[in-house]
Amino acid sequence: MKRFGNILWGLLILAIGIIWGLNALGITNINIFFNGWWTLFIIIPSLICLFTKESKMWSFIWLVIGIVLLLCSQGILTFSLISKLIIPFILVVIGLSLIFKGSIDKRLKERIKSLNENKEKQVEYCATFGGEEARYDGKEFKGANIDAIFGSVDLDLKNATITKDQVINANAIFGGIDIIVPPNVNIKVKSTPIFGGTSNKLKTTYNENLPTIYINSLTMFGGVEIK
């Protein structure tokens, strides 16, 4: 999926380069900086995230916003009409979010809560204005609480022994957390993004015979990456 993003940006840059060159040679007279060209910096990243991110709600919202702004800049829609529709749009989005995410979030919350009841087994990692690395080489992993505040934490579970479901509570506040997981586990993510995000780069099929690692993340001007 990362390659998809690179291809999309590559095609855009390639098209701009070709058009710019043809204009310079006098073969074409295409205005690259058309009305609303700046909306592409909203539309393209949103489109990429829509295909690559596990949580697609905000990607879809920003994609719609970008397209609407482009249509307004082109005169197809008017800003006065959009101002009348913005409140109904927000209400529809909130309603759909509650309908489709409510039951899933509830099940995730209940499972994460039950796993967190065994906090005495969980390892604590905290990086404040610095970095911390943790690697499990054959050791059993029993969950973790990770806090990265103006710092970074790298948790390598590639060679860890995981025999049952575990939870990782990851809080990234103006910091970053990288979690490397082994191939023989399922991953489920519950994310609370506040000007941040959680990226799951693993696209694996769920297998009920394998243990699951639950990533319970809070990101505030930071990020959590699962790979």
Q: How far apart are the first and last CA of the chain?
A: 13
> 3-state DSSP call for residue 165?
coil
With a cut of 70, say whether residue 2 has pLDDT above it: no
At residue 178, the pLDDT reads 92
Q: Could you count the other beta carbons within 10 Å of the beta carbon of residue 8?
A: 15
Q: Could you count the other beta carbons within 10 Å of the beta carbon of residue 9?
A: 13
At residue 4, the pLDDT reads 57
Side chain identity at 179, as an amino acid letter? I
With a cut of 70, say whether residue 157 has pLDDT above it: yes
Query: Of the candidates 173, 178, 176, 225, which has an alpha carbon nearest to the alpha carbon of residue 194?
Result: 173
Query: What does the pLDDT look like over 181-196, one tens digit per residue?
Result: 988 888 888 887 766 7
Query: What does the pLDDT look like over 99-147, one tens digit per residue?
Result: 555 445 667 777 777 777 766 677 888 888 888 898 888 888 888 888 8
Two tokens, residue 9: 């940006």
Label residue 179 by pLDDT band (50, 70, 90): very high
Neighbouring-strand partners of residue 213: 166, 187
Average the pLDDT over 29-39 and give the result.
82
With a cut of 50, say whether residue 53 has pLDDT above it: yes
At residue 223, the pLDDT reads 86
Which strands, in side-by-side order, build the sheet including 166-173?
123-128, 144-149, 166-173, 212-220, 186-194
Contact 157, 203 (CB under 8 A): no
At residue 1, the pLDDT reads 47
Could you tell me the residue ranges of all domains in the chain?
Answer: 2-112, 121-226
Sign of the alpha-carbon dihedral angle for 126, 130, 131, 132:
negative
Label residue 150 by pLDDT band (50, 70, 90): confident
